[in-house]
Amino acid sequence: MHWYILGAGAIGCLCAELLCNSGAKVTFILRNQSQLQTFNQAGRQIRLRDGDTCCSISVDASAAADNAEIRHLLVTTKAYDTLPALSSIQHRLAPDAQIVLLQNGCGQQQEVARLYFPRQIWAGITTHGAWREAPFQVVRAGIGQITLGPLGTSQLTLPDGWEKIDAAIIAEPDIKSALWRKLAINCAINPLTAIQGCRNGDLLTDPKLSLLMRGICDEIEQIAHARGQQLFTTPLFDAVCEIALLTADNFSSMLQDLRQERQTEIEQITGFLCREAAELGMTLPHNQRLLDQIRSQQNRHYTKGEGSE
Least Å distance between CB 212 and ligand PAF?
16
* Cα separation values, 274 from 50, 216, 280, 294, Å: 38, 12, 10, 14
Give the residues lining the site for ligand PAF (CB under 6 A): 185-186, 189-190, 200, 243, 247, 250, 252-253
Residue among 109 and 200 whose Cβ is closer to ligand PAF: 200
Measured distance CA(229)–CA(241) in Å, rounded: 20
Least Å distance between CB 35 and ligand PAF?
24
Residue among 1 and 139 whose Cβ is closer to ligand PAF: 139
Q: Which residue of the set 25, 164, 182, 208 is catalytic?
A: 182
Residue among 22 and 264 whose Cβ is closer to ligand PAF: 264
Measured distance CA(174)–CA(151) in Å, rounded: 9
* 106 closest CA partner among 234, 223, 236, 255: 223
Residue among 190 and 270 whose Cβ is closer to ligand PAF: 190
Least Å distance between CB 110 and ligand PAF?
21
Least Å distance between CB 125 and ligand PAF?
9
In DSSP notation, 244-262 reads: HHHTTTPPPHHHHHHHTTP
In a 10 Å sphere around its CB, with 0-12 CB exposed, 13-18 middle and 19+ buried, how is residue 21 labelled? middle
Least Å distance between CB 247 and ligand PAF?
4
Residue among 59 and 217 whose Cβ is closer to ligand PAF: 217
C-alpha 110, offset from chain centre: 15
Is 306 in contact with 203 (CB distance < 8 Å)?
A: no
Residue among 169 and 194 whose Cβ is closer to ligand PAF: 194
Q: Confirm whether 182 is a catalytic residue.
A: yes
Q: What single DSSP character describes residue 265? A: S
Q: How many helices (H) and strands (E) does the chain have?
A: 11, 12
Least Å distance between CB 44 and ligand PAF?
30
Alpha helix segments (H runs only) across 88-127: 108-115
Is 180 in contact with 147 (CB distance < 8 Å)?
A: no
In DSSP notation, 167-224 reads: S-EEE-S-HHHHHHHHHHHHHHHHHHHHHHT--TTHHHH-HHHHHHHHHHHHHHHHHH
Catalogue the active-site residues.
182
